[in-house]
Amino acid sequence: MKQKRIRFYSPQEVQETKTKETPKENELICTVSKTGRLSISQKVQEELSMDTANKKFKVGTEERKRAFKTLFLVPTEQDDPEAFELAKTGRGQTIALAGFFDKVGLDYENTQYEFTIKPFSQEDVSGYELNLTGEGTPRQKPEGGSRRGRRKASQTEGTEA
């Protein structure tokens, strides 16, 4: 019978080496609601030191781009007729952009979209740059679920023969 050669391992050799993950920069996220409102949470406002006293923003995209991927919010004066108004909801703020999202082709009613937001400054314009993350995820439709209130007695339970 032939002698088998066996290799033995020490615990140090087989110990898993964990790769150190670099902590991802805190990404600030804004979402689009079912009604076409861009929601900006209180946390995002605090992180960006967003001036909520200014209640109007100009909304724009990059020129000569076919696909919509970037949205720009630039604070403006109160009397600007081309500005969108910031509305308070709960702890955060929203901007009604349903018409804008329809124009650029986002199906916000059936798909949930997220934007990463960061400040930008270019020449004499400063504001916030929102980049669309991915293709969006389908919104969950309610599954019938249970009805609320009392159950109605069925006909078989109520009649005795």
CB 70 within 8 A of CB 61: yes
Q: Which residues of the chain have pLDDT under 70?
A: 1, 16-25, 141-149, 151-161
The pLDDT, as a whole number, for residue 39 is 92
Q: Is 86 exposed, middle or buried (0-12, 13-18, 19+ CB in 10 A)?
A: buried
The pLDDT, as a whole number, for residue 55 is 80
The pLDDT, as a whole number, for residue 37 is 92
